[in-house]
Amino acid sequence: MAKKTVNYVCTECGWSGGKWYGRCPECGQWGTIEEFHEAPAATGARTPAPGRTSRTPISVPNVQSAAKPITSISTDTANRLPTGFGEFDRVLGGGVVPGSGVLIAGEPGIGKSTLLLETAGNVAREVANHRDRNVVLYVAGEESQAQVRMRASRINAIEPNMLLAATTDLATVLGLIEQVRPALAIVDSAQTIVSQDVDGISGGSTQVREVASALIDTAKTLDVPVLLVGHVTKDGSIAGPRTLEHLVDVVCQFEGDAQTALRMLRAVTNRFGPTDEVGCFDMSGEGIEEVSDPSGLFLSSNGSVPVEGTCVTFTLDGHRSLPIEVQSLVTKSVLPTPRRAANGVDSNRIAMLVAVLYRHGGINLLANDLYISTIAGGLAKEPGCDLAIVAALASAAKSKAIARTTCAIGEISLTGQVRPVPRLEYRLREAARLGFTTAVVPTLRKRVTIPGLTIVQADTLKDALGVLLK
């Protein structure tokens, strides 16, 4: 009998070691180190190569056919599979690549399972008339078949060629994929699948590494794309070992605010496409709906009536330019230390901008309570939003409204200068498309002409405020 090895693993981040610690040396969490016994696999049960399962035999013909001249390898089977969501395809780089492994991570209740279940329904409808690979396999490790069926009925994702299995055994999952040969396989989730070949707790370092390597090996061998659901820890990182992120081809983060229905899908790692793309989705009672044009989500619906304390800027999120409306409220403080409340804005940058506004703008807000927020969970944390934040504060302090058709884009330095921002012309074209007529920007290095948009250049903060608050 093989001797068992005592190991210790962190249930929060997946760190493993041979010594117990009260505090995890990787993530710093207290009381998360647990002991488990890992028994080595029996001799001959597994191949020496990591990630190869026992179902993969070693033979001379296999070795001879493993390496081929690159000129003889065909790419006809590398056509991407559309997911039915244009936003999802945008993040993936145009669709799911056959034989790839995609990890979708996110907080509990954010909508990961709903997104993938609706994707399974869309793909099943797409491949229903194909001669081969005309089914979709959905493996549920956290819910029963009846529970998944109820959610599928609610989001209209029921198709006769979508196969549903509820199991947590890795051998069963691999056998289903090899037997069915689906066009798409979805495993929900990777932390719930358990391999009988190795010891370790469910979701632990050893189990997650074994499950992920076996699934990716199957995906590569059978040319079946596999979508995995991954859980996250308290700090937002993917639970389990970092090996999980390295094994898959694409890692996507599904983010959202609990107070809003807006969901963002971001590509963290992508071997087949860009990593700076973002997809917008709307969570409703009928499932997930894609938002192809999210420009209006981050703007208030006041029409053309100007409101004091508001200013619109344009930020970059991937290859997309989004308008962000910054709102501010300035009140007289009755506390020894004035309050600085910020939502969607970096609070440390607010303190710097208030000091610059006092020194170079002539507006003293050091003794006032300041409340700064954005609309619908938008983020105005890049330096290009500085001018809009300062303009909103000045507008609230002076009780002068900024025109609804005017936007401000620029970074504010400590010397009171308005500095340039990247891809300014791209932002200005998006502003013109949304109906803005005036844009206050830093001094342009080259002349930019956009029909319907008056571009006002400002070198200093005082000049910019003079144009915005006229």
Amino acid at 414: L
Strand blocks (E) in 18-125: 33-38, 101-106
At 235 the pLDDT is 58
CA distance 468 to 399: 13
CA distance 65 to 167: 34
Q: Which CATH architecture has domain 80-292?
A: 3-Layer(aba) Sandwich (3.40)
CA distance 311 to 224: 49
At 52 the pLDDT is 44
CA distance 352 to 414: 8
CB-based burial of residue 108 (10 Å sphere; 0-12 exposed, 13-18 middle, 19+ buried)? exposed
Q: Which CATH number fits domain 297-468: 3.40.50.620, 3.30.230.10, 3.30.1370.110, 3.30.70.640?
A: 3.30.230.10
Only one residue has tokens 């999980």, namely 244
At 445 the pLDDT is 86
Low-confidence stretches of the chain (pLDDT < 70) are: 1-5, 12, 14, 36-66, 74-78, 204-205, 233-243, 258-259, 302-304
What Cα–Cα distance (Å) separates residue 271 from each residue in 40, 92, 210, 251, 364?
A: 33, 9, 22, 9, 50
pLDDT per position as a tens digit, 163-206: 999 999 999 999 999 999 999 999 998 888 998 888 777 776 67
HEC secondary structure over 140-167: ECCCCHHHHHHHHHHCCCCCCCEEEEEC
DSSP label of 98: T
Q: Would you tell me how many other CB atoms lie within 10 Å of the CB of residue 260? A: 14
> Is residue 397 classed as helix, strand or coil in its secondary structure?
helix
CB-based burial of residue 328 (10 Å sphere; 0-12 exposed, 13-18 middle, 19+ buried)? buried
Only one residue has tokens 């001379």, namely 60
Which sign does the torsion angle of CA 426, 427, 428, 430 carry?
A: positive
At 42 the pLDDT is 44
CA distance 308 to 338: 21
At 241 the pLDDT is 55
At 431 the pLDDT is 93
pLDDT per position as a tens digit, 58-87: 444 555 556 778 787 766 556 899 999 999
Contact assessment for residue 163 and residue 135, using Cβ atoms and an 8 Å cutoff: yes
At 31 the pLDDT is 86
For the chain, helix (H) and strand (E) counts, in that order, are 11, 21
At 39 the pLDDT is 47
Amino acid at 7: N
At 57 the pLDDT is 46
* Kind and range of the H or E run holding 61: helix 60-66
At 47 the pLDDT is 36
Phi and psi, residue 272, nearest 5°: -120, 10
* Claim: this prediction has a pTM higher than 0.85: no
Extents of the domains making up the chain: 1-43, 80-292, 297-468
